[in-house]
């Protein structure tokens, strides 16, 4: 829609008729030539306008950069987390094309009742190792699910790769199940990751509307979308296989377990539970930057 030459004869005819009402005799073909010469074409809307931006946006980006550099210098783990778009599992159209002799036949409508379930890809990208971990949830995208996906990675891969590392940096968006204002996100981190593994965890949030700069978006999720483009996600094994097969020339590898546990929504964290956290807000933009420390020391 954004290219020239997409005007139709019908449009030129309509403009010609309107000009005729004004006493200007111009043929449809002439209308077309003049409009194209002036650079006009039928164009779709293009996303380019940003919403209101925080006045602290640039300051947070600078702080994020310093935090990443500091952790990298000390060879401490840095992970980027987010949830990829939910997908219906079944014989539904998946955008994109594949090489085949015949088009793959899929349902003509994406109806939830016809789906085998829903796939919630909760992702984690280890920027220093160029490794991804995507847990496929089947219930709800809750803060507890988000944290347990991190715990699964740390237990199975992270603490082996970063043996004896006392500190972890998490890069996250400001909203969703890992939002900066989400009390359950912080509480679950303390209860399920920080205390059990005696691990300090620093979280730095990207400003609202800046999620595209979160490394997981362009280093992991975009590669998964390219890899499975045009391939219907007919069942959970297919979803897991397509994500696990995702590779890049720079060496990206991805693990993809399935999590069928139910994560109910609506869980509330009390003021008493929040007060029990060993949470230290940073001096720089404390609503976006904080560290959780173990409430018990190693013996």
In the chain, where the domains are located: 1-46, 57-292
Task: Look over the chain and give the mean of its residue pLDDT values, rounded to a whole number.
Answer: 91
Is residue 61 exposed (0-12), middle (13-18) or buried (19+ Cβ within 10 Å)? middle
Helix (H, G, I), strand (E, B) or coil at 39: coil
Cβ contact 177:135 at 8 Å: no
The per-residue pLDDT for range 63-93, each reduced to its tens digit, is 999 999 999 999 999 999 999 999 999 999 9
Helix pair angle (9-21, 28-37), 10° resolution: 100
The per-residue pLDDT for range 201-250, each reduced to its tens digit, is 999 999 999 999 999 999 999 999 999 999 999 999 999 999 999 999 99
The percentage of the chain sitting over the pLDDT mark of 70, rounded to a whole number, equals 92
Q: For 155-163, what is the mean pLDDT?
A: 96
Counting every residue written for the chain, the total comes to 299
Nearest to 242 by CA among 251, 230, 250: 230
Nearest to 35 by CA among 72, 17, 8: 8
Q: Record the pTM.
A: 0.83
The pair of structure tokens assigned to 167 is 């500190």
Does 297 score more than 70 pLDDT?
Answer: no
DSSP 77-144: -EEEEEEPPPEEESS---SS----SSPPP--SS--GGGSSEEEEEEEEEETTTTEEEEEEESS---HH
Does 22 score more than 90 pLDDT?
Answer: no
Q: For 96-104, what is the mean pLDDT?
A: 86
Nearest to 235 by CA among 152, 132, 116, 146: 116
Looking up tokens 């847990």 gives: 135
- Indicate the pairing of strand 289-292 with strand 200-205: antiparallel
Residue 1 is predicted with a pLDDT of: 37
Residue 298 is predicted with a pLDDT of: 45
Does 2 score more than 50 pLDDT?
Answer: no
pLDDT tier at 42 (50, 70, 90 boundaries)?
Answer: low
Q: For 148-174, what is the mean pLDDT?
A: 97
Cα–Cα distance between 38 and 262 in angstroms, integer? 58
DSSP 211: G
Does 4 score more than 50 pLDDT?
Answer: no
Residues 6+ apart with CB under 8 A from 275: none
- CATH class, domain 57-292, is alpha beta
Higher pLDDT, 237 or 39: 237
pLDDT tier at 5 (50, 70, 90 boundaries)?
Answer: very low
Cα–Cα distance between 14 and 9 in angstroms, integer? 9
Residue 77 is predicted with a pLDDT of: 98
The pair of structure tokens assigned to 295 is 């409430």
According to DSSP, the residues that pair with 123 across neighbouring strands are: 82, 134
- Range with the poorest average pLDDT among 38-47, 113-122, 171-180, 240-249: 38-47
């Amino acid at each position: 829609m954004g290219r020239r030459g997409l005007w139709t004869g019908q449009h030129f005819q309509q403009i010609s008729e309107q000009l005729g009402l004004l006493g200007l005799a111009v043929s449809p073909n002439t209308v077309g030539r003049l409009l194209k010469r002036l650079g006009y074409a039928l164009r779709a809307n293009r996303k380019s306008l940003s919403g209101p931006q925080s006045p602290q946006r640039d300051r947070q980006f600078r702080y994020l950069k310093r935090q990443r550099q500091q952790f990298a210098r000390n060879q401490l783990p840095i992970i980027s987390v987010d949830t990829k778009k939910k997908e219906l599992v079944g014989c539904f159209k998946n955008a994109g094309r594949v090489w085949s002799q015949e088009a793959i036949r899929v349902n003509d409508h994406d109806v939830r009742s016809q789906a085998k379930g829903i796939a919630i890809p909760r992702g984690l990208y280890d920027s220093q190792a160029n490794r991804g971990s995507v847990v496929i949830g089947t219930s709800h995208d809750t803060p507890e699910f988000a944290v347990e996906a991190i715990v699964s990675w740390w237990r199975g891969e992270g603490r082996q790769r970063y043996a004896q590392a006392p500190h972890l940096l998490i890069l996250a968006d400001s909203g969703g199940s890992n939002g900066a204002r989400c009390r359950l996100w912080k509480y679950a981190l303390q209860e399920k990751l920080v205390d059990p593994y005696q691990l300090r965890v620093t979280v730095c949030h990207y400003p609202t509307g800046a999620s595209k700069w979160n490394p997981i978006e362009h280093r992991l999720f975009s590669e998964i979308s390219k890899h499975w483009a045009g391939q219907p996600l007919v069942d959970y094994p297919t979803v897991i296989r397509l994500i696990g097969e995702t590779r890049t020339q720079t060496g990206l590898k991805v693990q993809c377990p399935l999590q069928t546990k139910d994560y109910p929504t609506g869980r509330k964290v009390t003021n008493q539970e929040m007060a029990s956290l060993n949470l230290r807000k940073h001096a720089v933009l404390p609503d976006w930057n904080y560290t959780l420390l173990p409430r018990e020391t190693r013996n």
